[in-house]
Amino acid sequence: MIYEIRFHGRGGQGTVTAAELLVKAAVAEGKWGQSFPFFGAERRGAPVVAFARISEEKHFLHSQITEPNIIVVLDKKIMEAVDVTDGLKEDGVLVINSSGLFSKESLRNFRICVVDATKIAVSLGLSVAGWVIVNTAMLGAIVKAVPLVKVESIMNAIRNNWPERVGEINAEAARRAYEEATVL
């Protein structure tokens, strides 16, 4: 089976990096993975999407992802402007960065996993130029919702991507999110 994942974030939030790190973790486990940004101009602050495909076996696909199995929302505010469930498979999963309870009304019967990635990131001091960086925490929540890869592989992929302390803090964000994420 090929898992197809779509990430919703804002330009400059590390959405594309999140998709790529997920693939790096999968590839380190001997799986096949592919990630790509939305093909177009990237604009800081604007709603952006990125994609990933994770599978046990190699495939030849290079077309776009239109019916993902998993949707990841880095910034809940985007849901006011964009229908994040567009194309999500019937048995699909939504992983949402949100504090506290969550109204499920607009999200039909999709399985939902909630994590307060912003709180985790703030408590670890993860911010750049006034932006709270939640992408690494969200990776921990994704693998809690769907065991695509081990959380340790996510943490290693993060450590390999940034040197020393930055890598450690981001890996810790992923670990905490993995523990705190709740599947509703």
Partner 1 sequence: MKKVAAISFPSKGVAGKTGIWRVRKPILDRNKCVRCLICWIYCPEGTILRKEDDSVEIDYEYCKGCGVCSNECPTKAITMEEE
Partner 2 sequence: MIQVLTGNHSAAYAALLSNVEVVSAYPITPQTQIVEKIAEFVETGKLKARYVRVESEHSAMAVCIGASSAGARTFTATSSQGLLYMSEMVYWASAARLPIVMPVVCRTLAPPWNIWNEHTDMLLVRDYGWIQFFAESNQEVLDTIVQAYKIAEDERILLPVMVGLDAFTLSHTSEPVDVPEMDLVKKFLPPRANVPYVLDPSNPFTLGNLAYPSHHMKLKFMQHTAMENARKVVLEVDDEWYKIFGRCYSLLDNFMCDDAKVIILTIGSSAGDAKEAAKYLRKRGIAAGVLRVRLINPFPAKEVSDILSKVEAVAVVDRNLSPGNGGIILEKVKSSLYSLKNRPFIKGYLAGLGGKDITVEDYIKIFEKTLESYRKGDSDMEWFSINLEATSL
Residues forming contacts to partner 1 in the complex (CB under 8 A) are 10-11, 43-47, 77-78, 80-81, 130-131
The entry of partner 1, partner 2, none that residue 46 binds, CB within 5 to 8 Å by partner kind: partner 1
SS3 for 51? strand
Angle ∠(20,117,131) on CA atoms, nearest 5: 75
CB of 16 to partner 2, least distance (A): 9
SS3 for 111? strand
Spatial separation of the C-alpha atoms in residues 1 and 55, rounded to whole Å: 6
Spatial separation of the C-alpha atoms in residues 143 and 145, rounded to whole Å: 5
When the beta carbons of 126 and 148 are compared against partner 1, the nearer one is 126
CB of 133 to partner 1, least distance (A): 13
Among 59, 77, 89, 104, binds partner 2 (CB under 8 A): 59
Q: Is 102 a residue that touches partner 2 (CB under 8 A)?
A: no
